[in-house]
């Protein structure tokens, strides 16, 4: 009995040993999945219906242009809602308006309701959502700020839901197009800002806003009216709350699916990336304002050297084609060192740190979009929105510490803490929210591979736009030679608080500011409250804008990272030397500005 029992136990033990463990299964599956991704064979993971495959191949260029435009509108509205919300705290000097930002950015939470998600992912739902997005652009035409905020916040809700449904699409090929167009559209956004003197094009003027709206209408009519592609590509509307709109082979609500990224960490990482893009890279001039220093050790000017930031971001995107480089944890050291140099140093060294950081950030933009497309997009976007809002509020409180509860003791002048946790969040999203396969970045469907010639051509067009804008603005810079008809021993001076270049209706007033300053015909002008290179002021480069419009030399300071509201010196004569002093201001912020301005004014003319 004992021998037979022992043999039965040995047989049972041998059977259990023959079965691979869960860890071995996970390793084998992950290894096979990596081989598939590396060989561009993801198309075999989901067999497209013949009619859908034909649609995507034949209408690829039109699909690409449609999604590229709506990707550009996503960045326009996402970067535009913050300054609109911030207008109310600026006017009331209190915490007011942030609830609108929270509700609008976290709107994808309603997609967790199956019925709402089914409607939103349908072709009719996509049409209605995009109509709301385009109509919200017209908010700029309205004078009353409260009504404008309400309409724009509705547009923000729609654009966030559109982002989720596009990355949540039932067909992998469409998701690949969305991942790449969201990335490329960010570069078009930067390029067009160069042409519009750093102002967001859709919010630069009433005419430009109307042009954006009309182009959006044409896109919707072409996408859903003249062409039937979207009606065939997206499922029909269904009011069955239990209906599933197609299975994503790499996305499942089951926690056992090892290819699904950690939605919580990914959400934190994506929120930190969005904040970083708005805090540091929403315009190519921001790095120069972070690196600002006194003459003659001033950092490189945005025009023409801001183009290096654009190139750095693009080099990062190119790096993603070598997925093993970007997914290596050591790659994060490039961004970490660059971020540190940007924040803790001054002048050209700080600027070079910004270039290094741009390469790292450029490489993780498509990678994080790729991971969202493989995950539970609504959950991820909601967590990202919350992480983003926390960082925005903290960034405001580091400078506006005198007008917020506990700000003077907890958050005052502590941007270095924000820098650390912002980068740490991006690291969590990229390297700990498994797995970095680059599925949609490097997929293919029959004759179409990603990235392809059309994608690189789009980057080329965006670079051509940025280069053209940079060159035209470079021609507007003043010459260093003084006019012999003017006597530099006698000067006229003016000083003005420009309230960040916004009027009482929260519209950009830079043209009117430039017109008033030109009428003064002053030789030296000091401007207060001018640091608009902040996410809650639209990242507008007020310094370059006025310098080019008035054809005057400029000096900006203190640095954007110095927790002040900024000063600008405009001079008809070359600035030889300037020193940026930060004096103690225990009771508020204004003492820094006045003394700095007076000292700069004395030292502007040789």
| pLDDT tens for each residue of 175-212 | 889 999 999 999 999 999 999 999 999 999 899 999 99
pLDDT at 259 over 70: no
Which letter, b or e, does each residue of 476-490 get, where b requires 16 or more Cβ atoms within 10 Å of its Cβ? Answer: ebbeeeeeeeeeeee
Quote the longest CA-to-CA distance of the chain. Answer: 118
Q: Specify the 3-state DSSP secondary structure of 261.
A: coil
Residue 171 parent element (H or E): none
- Structure confidence at residue 406 (pLDDT): 60
Q: Where are the domains of the chain?
A: 49-173+188-243, 260-442, 481-602
Report, in this order, helix, strand and coil percent for the chain, each rounded to 5: 65, 5, 30
Say yes or no to pLDDT of 104 above 70.
Answer: yes
Range with the poorest average pLDDT among 196-210, 265-279, 479-493, 497-511: 479-493
Where are the extended beta strands (E) located within 447-541?
448-449, 493-497, 524-528
215 pLDDT higher than 50 = yes
Q: Read off the pLDDT of each residue in 404-426 and give the average, rounded to a whole number.
A: 82
Helix 145-167 vs helix 60-92: crossing angle, to nearest 10: 140
pLDDT of residue 26: 53
Task: Check if the beta carbon of residue 149 is closer than 8 Å to that of residue 85.
Answer: yes
Task: Please give the model's pTM, rounded to 2 decimal places.
Answer: 0.86
pLDDT tens per residue across span 506-519: 788 888 899 999 99
Q: Are strands 524-528 and 493-497 parallel, antiparallel or unpaired?
A: parallel
C-alpha torsion sign, points 452, 456, 462, 468: negative
More confident residue, 326 or 564: 326
Q: Has residue 371 got a pLDDT over 50?
A: yes
Cβ count near 492 (within 10 Å):
11
d(CA 335, CA 331): 8
Residue 360 structure tokens: 């790292």
Quickly state the pLDDT bin for 491 (edges 50, 70, 90).
Answer: confident
- First-to-last alpha carbon distance for the chain, in angstroms, is 108
Higher pLDDT, 96 or 125: 125
Has residue 453 got a pLDDT over 60?
yes
pLDDT at 414: 84
Using one digit for the tens of pLDDT, what is the confidence trace for 115-142? 888 899 898 999 999 999 999 999 999 9
Question: Considering only 18-32, 118-132, 303-317, which range has the smallest mean pLDDT?
Answer: 18-32
Q: What is the pLDDT of residue 405?
A: 62
Q: Spell out a b/e string for 292-306, using b for 16 or more CB atoms within 10 Å of the CB, else e.
A: bbbbeebbbbbbebb
Angle 172-195/50-58 helices, nearest 10 degrees?
20
Q: What is the residue whose two structure tokens read 């035409």?
A: 141
Contacts of 604 (CB under 8 A, 6+ apart): 524, 555, 569, 571, 573, 575, 578
Cα 87 to Cα 92: distance, rounded to the nearest angstrom: 9
Q: How confident is the model at residue 575 (pLDDT cuts 50, 70, 90)?
A: confident
The token pair that represents 199 in the structure block? 């102002």
Distance CA 486, CA 481 (A): 12
- For residue 20, the model assigns a pLDDT of 58
Q: What is the mean pLDDT of the segment spanning 282-294?
A: 90
Q: Are 46 and 249 in contact, with CB atoms under 8 Å apart?
A: yes
Range with lowest mean pLDDT among 17-31, 140-154, 382-396, 497-511:
17-31
What is the pLDDT, as a whole number, of residue 485? Answer: 46
Distance of alpha carbon 117 from alpha carbon 319, whole angstroms: 35
State the pLDDT at residue 559. 83
Residue 558: its pLDDT value, please? 82
Residue 231 confidence (pLDDT): 84
| Residue 135: other Cβ atoms inside 10 A | 16
Distance CA 265, CA 427 (A): 9
pLDDT at site 234:
85
Task: Count other Cβ atoms within 10 Å, centred on residue 417.
Answer: 11
Between the CA of residue 513 and those of 40, 142, 298, 497, 547, what are the distances in Å? 54, 21, 25, 10, 12
State the pLDDT confidence band at 43, using cuts at 50, 70 and 90: very low
Distances in Å between the Cα of 414 and the Cα atoms of 64, 343, 369, 428, 529 are 42, 12, 30, 22, 20
| pLDDT value at residue 25 | 54
Tokens at 279, concatenated: 């805090």
How wide is the angle at C-alpha 118 spanned by C-alphas 450 and 261, nearest 5°? 50
Q: What is the pLDDT of residue 302?
A: 92
Q: How confident is the model at residue 32 (pLDDT cuts 50, 70, 90)?
A: low
Identify the residue whose tokens are 């201001």: 585
**Cα–Cα distance, 269 to 275 (Å, whole number):** 10
* CATH number, domain 260-442: 1.20.1250
Q: With a cut of 60, say whether residue 111 has pLDDT above it.
A: yes
pLDDT at 192: 97
Residue 565: per-residue pLDDT: 80
């Amino acid at each position: 009995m004992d021998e037979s029992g022992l043999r039965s136990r040995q047989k049972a033990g041998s059977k259990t040993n023959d079965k691979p463990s869960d860890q071995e299964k996970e390793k084998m599956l992950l290894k096979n999945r990596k081989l598939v991704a590396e060989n561009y064979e993801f198309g075999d993971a989901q067999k497209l219906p013949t009619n859908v495959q034909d649609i995507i191949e034949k209408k690829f260029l039109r699909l690409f242009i449609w999604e590229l435009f709506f990707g550009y509108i996503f960045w326009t509205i996402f970067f535009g809602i913050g300054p609109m919300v911030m207008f109310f705290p600026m006017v009331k000097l209190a915490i007011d308006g942030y609830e609108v930002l929270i509700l609008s950015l976290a709107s994808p939470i309603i997609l967790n309701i199956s019925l709402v998600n089914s409607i939103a992912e349908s072709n009719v739902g996509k049409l209605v959502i995009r109509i709301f997005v385009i109509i919200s652009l017209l908010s700029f035409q309205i004078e009353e700020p409260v009504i404008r905020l309400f309409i724009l916040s509705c547009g923000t809700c729609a654009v966030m839901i559109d982002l989720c449904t596009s990355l949540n699409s039932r067909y992998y090929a469409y998701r690949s197009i969305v991942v790449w167009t969201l990335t490329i559209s960010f570069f078009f956004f930067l390029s067009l800002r160069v042409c519009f003197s750093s102002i967001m094009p859709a919010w630069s003027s009433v005419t430009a806003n109307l042009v954006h709206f009309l182009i959006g209408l044409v896109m919707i009519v072409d996408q859903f009216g003249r062409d039937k592609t979207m009606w065939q590509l997206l499922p029909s509307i269904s009011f069955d709350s239990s209906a599933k709109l197609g299975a994503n082979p790499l996305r499942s609500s089951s926690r056992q699916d090892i290819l699904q990224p950690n939605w919580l960490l990914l959400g934190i990482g994506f929120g930190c990336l969005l904040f970083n893009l708005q805090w540091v890279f929403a315009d190519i001039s921001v790095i120069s304002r972070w690196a600002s220093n006194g003459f003659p050790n001033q950092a490189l000017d945005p025009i023409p050297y801001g183009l290096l930031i654009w190139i750095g971001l693009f080099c990062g995107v190119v790096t993603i084609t070598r997925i093993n480089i970007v997914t290596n944890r050591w790659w994060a050291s490039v961004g970490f060192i660059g971020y540190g140099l940007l924040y803790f140093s001054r002048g050209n060294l700080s600027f070079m740190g910004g270039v290094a950081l741009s390469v790292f950030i450029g490489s993780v933009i498509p990678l994080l979009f790729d991971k969202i497309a493989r995950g539970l997009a609504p959950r991820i976007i909601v967590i990202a929105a919350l992480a983003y809002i926390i960082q925005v509020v903290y960034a405001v409180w580091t400078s506006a510490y005198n007008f917020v509860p506990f700000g003077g003791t907890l958050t005052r002048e502590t941007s270095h803490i924000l820098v650390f946790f912002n980068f740490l969040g991006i690291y969590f999203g990229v390297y700990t929210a498994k797995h970095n396969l680059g599925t949609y970045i490097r997929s293919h469907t029959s004759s179409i591979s990603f990235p392809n010639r059309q994608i690189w051509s789009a980057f080329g067009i965006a670079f051509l736009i940025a280069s053209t804008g940079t060159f035209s603005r470079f021609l507007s810079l003043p010459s260093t030679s003084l006019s012999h008809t003017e006597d530099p021993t006698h000067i006229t001076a003016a000083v003005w608080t420009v309230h960040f270049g916004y009027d009482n209706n929260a519209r950009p007033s830079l043209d009117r500011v430039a017109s008033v300053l030109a009428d003064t015909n002053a030789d030296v002008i000091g401007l207060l409250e001018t640091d608009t290179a902040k996410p809650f002021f639209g990242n507008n480069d007020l310094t370059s804008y006025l310098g080019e419009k008035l054809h005057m030399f400029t000096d900006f300071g203190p640095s954007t990272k110095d927790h002040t509201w900024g000063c600008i010196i405009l001079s008809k004569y070359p600035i030889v030397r300037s020193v940026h002093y930060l004096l103690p201001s225990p009771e508020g912020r204004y003492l820094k500005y006045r003394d700095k301005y007076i000292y700069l004014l004395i030292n502007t003319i040789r």
